[in-house]
């Protein structure tokens, strides 16, 4: 008797049916198709631009601009500056309004958010009305409101409102004295630096003291004293010896407008106020949500340890709330930066207004200009996110 044991090895599976191979195949295929489409689009665009005799390439950035811009943080003139300089001017103006806007919106947002949770009925309701009103009206309308309805009716330059101490307000903006630094002003600068360094050292020392002994020091007073007091002392000292380190150039009445001094454009103010009040409404809600996410037991525990309500908020509730607040807060920062491009509606020379408006039109190089502008907003947003993510990691719950 012979039994044939048929050794049936598992059937040879075709490579076609290997899920891994198939998966890889389709992914590679997709990448190739997408890559090919991009390539086709780019080469077609280049070819057609050439056929239509439309200039292309990034060489235009070195051409003379030939136009002026109302607010420039770097020196800019129609004759001596290039489109590349105009790009930088626009970028800096965008960064300026975004940076100041983010700081102010954070302060205002936290204040309103905390106020909404106040036990004082009046304060809570005012905060609620603020939030509901501001976040439910389109930002563009708010900007136009600030620009046309609030700043528009300000008096003409010849009837400027004097606010004392060389401050004037009119329809061309806010005018203020410009500080002129004499050669010996460095003493005051040095005093300021010493003050700041001193504050940091003092704070570190005070923290250690408190951790080891429990004793608390008046941090706020000392900080103000060092940062503000030292330079003022330096100034007084210089004044005593007869030197005059800082003088002020006052705005004077000119033919059309005030001359000299510093000027803040109404376009800037309208954009800044609009962005800050609008974004603060959203930040307030984020903050409120964050605080409510901290369990009530924490507040009670803090109270039983003898912390006052202010301290409870500052030392116990807000630090824990930050974990919930940071991620959505980052989104609000990004929104504020991107929304600053609405400047175009009220004539503030931000990146979009200067670069996508004037430069695009004068050069006609739409594709290049749009690509650069998109790249800039993408970069700003990614950098902001990156920084906020680092901060988020620091405040996140440490699992033990």
Partner 1 sequence: MKKAIVSIAFGLTACLVATGASAQATLNSVKQKGYLTCGSNTGLAGFGVPDAQGTWTGLDVEFCRAMSAAIFDDPTKVRFIPLAAKDRFTALQSGEVDVLSRNSTATMSRDTQLGLDFPAINYFDGQGFMVRKKLGVSSAKELNGASICTQQGTTTELNLADYFRANNMKYEVVAFATSDETFKAYDAGRCDAFTTDASGLYSERLRASAPDDHIVLPEIISKEPLGPAVRHGDNQWGDIVRWTHYAMLNAEEFGVTKANVEQMKGSDNPEIKRLLGTEGKYGEAIGLTNDWALRIIKQVGNYGESFERNVGEGSKLKIKRGQNALWTKGGLQYGIPIR
Take residue 220 and report the two structure tokens written for it: 């706020």
- Of 162, 189, 218, 254, the residue at the interface with partner 1 (CB under 8 A) is 254
Query: Among all chains, which residue has been given the structure tokens 């940062």?
Result: 227
Take residue 305 and report the two structure tokens written for it: 């340890």
Is residue 266 at the binding interface for partner 1, with CB under 8 A as the rule?
Answer: yes
The smaller minimum CB distance to partner 1, of residues 108 and 351, is found at 351
Is residue 138 at the binding interface for partner 1, with CB under 8 A as the rule?
Answer: no
What would you report as the CA-atom Rg of the chain, rounded to the nearest whole angstrom? Answer: 30
Query: Among all chains, which residue has been given the structure tokens 């376009």?
Result: 267
Is residue 252 at the binding interface for partner 1, with CB under 8 A as the rule?
Answer: no
The piece of 182-190, 244-252, 254-262, 273-281 that touches partner 1 (CB under 8 A) is 254-262
Give the H/E segment covering residue 253. strand 252-253
**Residues in region 362-381 near partner 1 by CB under 8 A:** 362-364, 366-367, 370
The least CB distance from residue 348 to partner 1, in Å, is: 10
Residues 182 and 165: their CA atoms lie apart, in Å, by 20
Residues 302 and 311: their CA atoms lie apart, in Å, by 9
Residue 395: how many CB atoms within 10 A of its CB? 14
What lies within 8 Å, CB to CB, of 262 at 6+ separation is 175, 176, 177, 178
- Of 111, 299, 331, 341, the residue at the interface with partner 1 (CB under 8 A) is 341
- Per DSSP, 136 falls in state T
The least CB distance from residue 343 to partner 1, in Å, is: 9
- Of 68, 95, 292, 331, the residue at the interface with partner 1 (CB under 8 A) is 68
The least CB distance from residue 164 to partner 1, in Å, is: 24
Is residue 357 at the binding interface for partner 1, with CB under 8 A as the rule?
Answer: yes
User: What backbone phi and psi angles, to 5 degrees, belong to 175?
Assistant: -110, 140
- Cα 46 from chain centre: 36
- Of 66, 179, 218, 309, the residue at the interface with partner 1 (CB under 8 A) is 66
- Of 105, 127, 172, 285, the residue at the interface with partner 1 (CB under 8 A) is 172
In this structure, the strands spanning 173-176 and 262-264 are antiparallel
The piece of 131-139, 182-190, 215-223, 349-357 that touches partner 1 (CB under 8 A) is 349-357
The least CB distance from residue 49 to partner 1, in Å, is: 6
- Of 91, 267, 282, 288, the residue at the interface with partner 1 (CB under 8 A) is 267
The least CB distance from residue 229 to partner 1, in Å, is: 39
The smaller minimum CB distance to partner 1, of residues 244 and 361, is found at 361
Take residue 194 and report the two structure tokens written for it: 């010493």
3-state secondary structure of 146: helix
- Of 156, 209, 379, 389, the residue at the interface with partner 1 (CB under 8 A) is 156
Residues 267 and 345: their CA atoms lie apart, in Å, by 10
Q: Is the dihedral of CA 364, 368, 374, 376 positive or negative?
A: negative
The smaller minimum CB distance to partner 1, of residues 40 and 201, is found at 40
Is residue 62 at the binding interface for partner 1, with CB under 8 A as the rule?
Answer: no
Query: Among all chains, which residue has been given the structure tokens 């003493």?
Result: 187
- Of 27, 48, 204, 389, the residue at the interface with partner 1 (CB under 8 A) is 48
The piece of 27-35, 180-188, 238-246, 344-352 that touches partner 1 (CB under 8 A) is 344-352
Residues 311 and 195: their CA atoms lie apart, in Å, by 27
Give the H/E segment covering residue 350. none
Which residues in this chain contact partner 1 in the complex, by CB under 8 A?
Answer: 40-41, 44-45, 48-49, 51-55, 66-70, 77-79, 148, 152, 156, 171-172, 254-257, 259, 266-267, 341-342, 344-345, 347, 349, 352-353, 356-358, 360-364, 366-367, 370
């Amino acid at each position: 008797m012979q039994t044939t044991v048929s050794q049936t090895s598992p059937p040879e599976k075709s490579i076609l049916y290997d899920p891994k191979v198939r998966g890889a195949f389709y992914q590679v295929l997709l990448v190739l198709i997408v890559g090919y489409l991009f390539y086709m689009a780019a080469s077609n665009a280049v070819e057609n631009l050439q056929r239509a005799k439309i200039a292309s390439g990034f060489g235009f950035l070195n051409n003379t601009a030939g136009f002026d811009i109302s607010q420039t943080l770097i020196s800019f003139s129609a004759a001596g500056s290039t489109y590349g300089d105009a790009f930088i001017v626009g970028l800096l103006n965008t960064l300026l309004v975004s940076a100041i806007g983010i700081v102010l919106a954070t302060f205002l947002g936290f204040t309103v958010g905390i106020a909404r949770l106040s036990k004082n009925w009046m304060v809570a309701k005012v905060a609620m009305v603020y939030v509901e009103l501001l976040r439910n009206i389109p930002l563009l309308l708010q900007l136009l409101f600030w620009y046309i309805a609030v700043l528009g009716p300000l008096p003409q330059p010849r009837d400027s409102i004097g606010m004392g101490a060389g401050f004037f307000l009119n329809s061309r903006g806010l005018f203020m004295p410009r500080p002129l630094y004499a050669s010996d002003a460095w003493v005051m600068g040095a005093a300021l630096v010493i003050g700041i360094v001193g504050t940091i050292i003092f704070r570190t020392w005070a923290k250690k003291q408190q951790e080891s002994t429990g004793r608390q020091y008046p941090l706020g007073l000392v900080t103000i004293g060092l940062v503000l007091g030292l330079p003022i002392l330096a100034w007084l000292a210089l004044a005593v010896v007869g030197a005059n380190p800082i003088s002020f150039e006052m705005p004077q009445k000119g033919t059309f407008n005030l001359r000299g001094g510093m000027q803040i454009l109404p376009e800037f103010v309208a954009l800044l106020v609009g962005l800050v009040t609008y974004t603060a409404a959203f930040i307030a809600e984020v903050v409120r949500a964050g605080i409510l996410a901290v369990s009530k037991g924490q507040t009670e525990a803090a109270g039983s340890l003898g912390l006052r309500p202010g301290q409870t908020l500052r030392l116990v509730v807000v630090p824990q709330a930050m974990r919930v607040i940071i991620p959505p807060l980052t989104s609000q920062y990004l929104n504020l930066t991107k929304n600053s491009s609405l400047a175009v509606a009220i004539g503030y020379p931000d990146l979009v207004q200067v670069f996508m408006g004037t430069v695009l039109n004068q050069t006609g190089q739409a594709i290049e200009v749009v690509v650069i502008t998109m790249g800039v907003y993408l970069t700003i947003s990614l950098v902001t996110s990156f920084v906020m993510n680092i901060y988020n990691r620091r405040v996140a719950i440490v699992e033990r």
